[in-house]
Structure 1
Amino acid sequence: MNRSQTQAQHAVVSIVVVSYNTKDMTLECIRSILTETKCGFELIVYDNASSDGSAQAIADEFPETKLIASEVNHGFAKANNIAAGQVSGKYLLLLNPDTVVLNGAIDKLVSFAGSRPEARIWGGRTLYGDQSLNPTNCWGRMTLWSVTCQAFGLTSLFRDSALFNPEGYGGWPRDTERAVDIVSGCLFLIERDLWNQLGGFDPAFTMYGEEADLCLRARAIGAHPRITPDAEIVHYVGASTKVRANKLIMLLKAKVTLIHRYFPEWQRAPGVLLLTCWPLSRMVGARILWAMFRKPKWKATQLAWTDVWKARSEWRGGYSQVQ
């Protein structure tokens, strides 16, 4: 029996990493898992048809790691579902490939789950590469008020305000334990039984929004997702989505889908209308800032949001499998 088989037999946590054209980062992520994790675990890496040699590099450096090298890019949600169908641990941990595990973070997260079993979904604290706070580890649920703040630029102007940046939990530096609505999929620990009960991610969400949908479904049956500041990772953010406009289009598709699913019926039409105003206001704002200051970043921002606005027919309907 090799080491990977022994790990699978005694796994407390099953770790799933879905990679797509992030070869160097994925290798760094796996190294950090193996170095920093002492509790019983199994690791499954699902490569989503990368074209950068990721699968071969993973197989060469980590021959004992279970690797699923797909010939088709199924997207984040479906790829995780496929990999999660092959795990055995009490807990399932979804970990982005553009992350680095710090100071025993997985051990600490599993310990936290044991101390807060009522949560049923748990997350940690994320940092950027320079070790500054990356606040994208969790989110508040989307509401008509939060979409209004986003549409009129209040979220950007008052990022540290809990009132005007409710989805981002503005003003909270993620340095305390706290119940949250949504745990980010970059570091997402869940009871395997709960994952199976919910049927995993809804594959309608090709990219973005899948963890929000899962957490909201979990909350509806009594889960209380929770964050600990003790489990820290580096998350470089968006490494597999390099074209900003494409990322924003997928994000908006996901947000429209979540509005259709979770807003009261009377709020859905105004919610989508307000969300449609978001790229328009960002495009106009960036254009004004470019005209005033001539900084290249504002020109790039203007062009990205202009592309998103022009593509609004692609995202205003949300993902096609809205239920």
Structure 2
Amino acid sequence: MNAVLPPSRGLVVSVVSHGHGALVQALLNDMARLCAATVQRVVLTQNLPEPEPLPPPQGWPFVLQCVKNRTPLGFGANHNRALAGATEPFVCVLNPDIGLVGHDPFAQLTESAAQPGTGCAYPVQLDAHGRVQDSERELPTPSALWRRRLLGRRETRVDWVNAACLVLPTTVWRAVGGFDEAYFMYCEDVDLCLRVRLQGGALVRVPVQVVHAGQRASHRRWGHLRWHVRSLLRLWRSPVYGRARLLLRGETGGAGTIGRS
């Protein structure tokens, strides 16, 4: 007979590693130490060949499932497969380069995700120096990108958030169908957030912090920049973008206003 889990422990976390073995080991160690009361299962997808993480002496306090891809898959495809058939009440998409700053962020994230009307809960992301990162964005229209990239203006609306750390009710994840796998590496998170918004779900910033050490490859590599442009063009041509633009045009502040601290 299976034990009944307490309400606070019903989260499955999907992590995809592209040769990030050291980062994954550190993340899992922190989760084992801090998040045993919240995390029920972790699905680690190894997109490239690498050793499996070593468990702590007492073993993992959650179920750890390691999936080894024979052929590398895209961001959305990996997370969709990891979270397919999830029976936990909540799902989490988590980057391997996320750092937990001495506490369990998932307790508050799942508590927020459980509130009526919440489509997705996300933390405040800090860089390695403790500065708030620009993980919250407005709809990436051509004019918004012009203001951001060329004029250097800060965005004030929260129409979507990056997918470095997202917690969704499993019912919402199923209703939107997870990530659209037609996107490759870029704009999957934009599209996901817009579809959550179109179904009436709110994007809720939770006052809990994580460190995100990621760097944007599209700023440094021409190949990634081309993928980014292709994804943007696909997004702009999509029905989701068109419907979301009409929806957000009627709102005064998107999902909220961007907090800077």
- Give the TM-score normalised by structure 2: 0.79
Which range moved further: 7-16 or 34-43? 7-16
Q: What percentage of aligned pairs have identical amino acids?
A: 19
After superposition, the Cα gap between the structure-2 partners of 1:79 and 1:73, relative to the gap in structure 1 and judged at 3 Å, is: same
Does residue 222 of structure 1 match 2:214?
A: no
User: Bigger relative contact order, structure 1 or 2, given CA contacts below 8 A and separation 6+?
Assistant: 2
2:137 to 130, 136, 139: 139
Within 5 A, what are the aligned runs for 1:103-252? 103-114=103-114, 116-136=115-135, 138-150=136-148, 153-154=150-151, 156=152, 158-159=153-154, 165=155, 169=157, 180-228=158-206, 230-238=207-215, 244-252=221-229
1:259 to 220, 228, 236: 236
Structure 1: gaps spanning 5 or more residues: 160-164, 170-179, 268-323
Counting matched residue pairs gives: 236
Instruction: Classify the secondary structure of the residue corresponding to 1:120.
Output: strand
Please identify runs of 4+ aligned residues in structure 1 that moved more than 4 A: 5-11, 59-64, 239-243, 262-265
In terms of fraction of residues, the more strand-rich structure is 2
Question: 1:198 Cα shift?
Answer: 1.5
Aligned residues of 2:218 and 2:225 also touching (Cα < 8 A)? no
In terms of fraction of residues, the more helix-rich structure is 1
1:302 alignment partner in structure 2: none
Structure 2: gaps spanning 5 or more residues: 246-261
- Give the TM-score normalised by structure 1: 0.65
Aligned residues of 2:76 and 2:184 also touching (Cα < 8 A)? yes
Aligned residues of 1:127 and 1:133 also touching (Cα < 8 A)? yes
Which range moved further: 61-70 or 204-213? 61-70
Question: 1:240 Cα shift?
Answer: 8.4
Aligned residues of 2:13 and 2:39 also touching (Cα < 8 A)? no
Residue identity matched to 1:19: S
Question: 1:24 Cα shift?
Answer: 0.9
1:58 alignment partner in structure 2: 53
Write the distance in 2 (CA, Å) between the matches of 1:209 and 1:150.
17
Question: 1:23 Cα shift?
Answer: 1.2
Write the distance in 2 (CA, Å) between the matches of 1:7 and 1:240.
44
Instruction: Classify the secondary structure of the residue corresponding to 2:15.
Output: strand
Structure index of larger Rg? 1
